[in-house]
């Protein structure tokens, strides 16, 4: 029996462009023999769940999608070479730390990755979209990356950094200006707007929107890196191949 692991294709020197797919690939490399599974470069439209990673078992013609469901499925299936670490004897502290780090990655690290690669108009147009174009057959690059970007923007919405999407921000401002003009409001020339109402006073007022966004983004990233810097990923290797795999996927 050879399982099929369907994932987003490679990018940035990594086996997959997607963090969850990357975590699953890493987990498989740690727990299964290469003879037990086949890595398939795919896209969401090619699997029934429309979500990657997706595991297909030809013996039962069943699909399982998502990192945690796939790991749970493997624990019940147990291919010939499957090696799952025994976590039943681990101290409570290890379990608590593992869940805490996992929650941090889900709530902070993953949204930061979404901001950097997908919400930022500059990064998306110059780096992310070309990477998807390289791994998707035509005409999928016109549709699927946009769906991923929308999902990533929603994931990072709580961080309040939607202004990184300068394309959408420009459209919003232009729409508001058209509405004001249609309503008959007196328009202040753009060159004078910063000087009106004290908006250009103080250090904060002198900063460009780009610099303000950068300062806020660096502050958000520093909070995550400070916590991650406390983790010894090499300590007690047997305690959590599953969690290390998922951590590595988000950090990759």
Domain boundaries, the chain: 3-84, 92-187+213-228
- Report the SS3 class of residue 40: strand
Whether the pLDDT of residue 225 is over 90: the answer is: no
Better-predicted residue by pLDDT, 173 or 101: 101
Rounded distance between C-alpha atoms, residue 59 and residue 115, angstroms: 40
Rounded distance between C-alpha atoms, residue 216 and residue 7, angstroms: 33
| Residue 189, token pair as written in the block | 């020339």
**Which of 26-30, 166-170, 210-214 shows the lowest per-residue confidence on average (mean pLDDT)?**
166-170
Outline where the chain has alpha helix (H): 19-31, 67-77, 92-104, 110-114, 121-123, 129-135, 144-155, 166-182, 190-193, 202-206, 209-228, 241-251
Q: Scanning the structure block, which residue is given the tokens 């930022």? A: 120
pLDDT (0 to 100) of residue 106: 80
Q: Is CATH 3.40.30 what the domain over 3-84 is classified as, yes or no? A: yes
pLDDT (0 to 100) of residue 86: 62
Whether the pLDDT of residue 18 is over 90: the answer is: yes
- As a whole number, mean pLDDT of residues 167-192 equals 60
| Residue 149, token pair as written in the block | 């970007």
| Residue 194, token pair as written in the block | 């910063």
- As a whole number, mean pLDDT of residues 193-219 equals 61
Q: Scanning the structure block, which residue is given the tokens 């990357």? A: 22
Q: Which of 3, 120, 127 is nearest to 56 (CA)?
A: 3
* Pair 21, 53: CB distance under 8 Å: yes
Whether the pLDDT of residue 193 is over 80: the answer is: no
Rg, C-alpha atoms of the chain: 23
Start-to-end C-alpha separation, the chain: 30
Rounded distance between C-alpha atoms, residue 75 and residue 95, angstroms: 18
Burial class (CB in 10 A: 0-12, 13-18, 19+), 86: exposed
User: What residues contact 213, with CB distance under 8 A and at least 6 apart?
Assistant: 161, 163, 164
The torsion angle over the Cα atoms of residues 71, 77, 81 and 86, rounded to 10 degrees, is 60
- As a whole number, mean pLDDT of residues 62-91 equals 82
- Report the SS3 class of residue 164: helix
């Amino acid at each position: 029996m050879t399982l099929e692991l369907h994932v987003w294709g490679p990018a940035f020197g990594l086996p997959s462009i997607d963090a969850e797919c990357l975590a699953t690939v890493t987990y498989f490399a740690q727990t299964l023999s290469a003879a037990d599974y086949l890595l398939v470069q795919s896209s969401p439209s090619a699997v029934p769940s429309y979500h990657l990673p997706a595991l297909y078992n030809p013996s039962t013609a069943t699909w399982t999608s998502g990192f945690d469901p796939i790991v749970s499925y493997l624990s019940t299936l147990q291919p010939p070479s499957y090696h799952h670490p025994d976590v039943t004897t681990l101290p409570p502290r290890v379990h608590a730390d593992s869940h805490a780090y996992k929650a941090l990655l889900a709530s902070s690290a993953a949204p930061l990755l979404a901001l950097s690669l997908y919400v930022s108009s500059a990064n998306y147009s110059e780096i992310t979209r070309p990477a998807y174009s390289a791994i998707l057959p035509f005409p999928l690059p016109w549709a699927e990356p946009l769906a991923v970007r929308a999902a990533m923007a929603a994931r990072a919405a709580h961080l309040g950094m939607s202004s990184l999407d300068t394309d959408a921000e420009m459209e919003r401002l232009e729409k508001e200006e058209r509405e004001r003009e249609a309503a008959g409001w007196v328009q202040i020339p753009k060159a004078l707007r910063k000087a009106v109402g004290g908006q250009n006073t103080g250090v904060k007022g002198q900063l460009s929107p780009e610099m303000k966004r950068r300062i806020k983004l660096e502050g958000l990233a520093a909070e995550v890196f400070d916590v991650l810097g406390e983790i010894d990923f090499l300590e007690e290797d047997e305690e959590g191949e599953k969690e290390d795999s998922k951590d590595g996927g988000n950090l990759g």
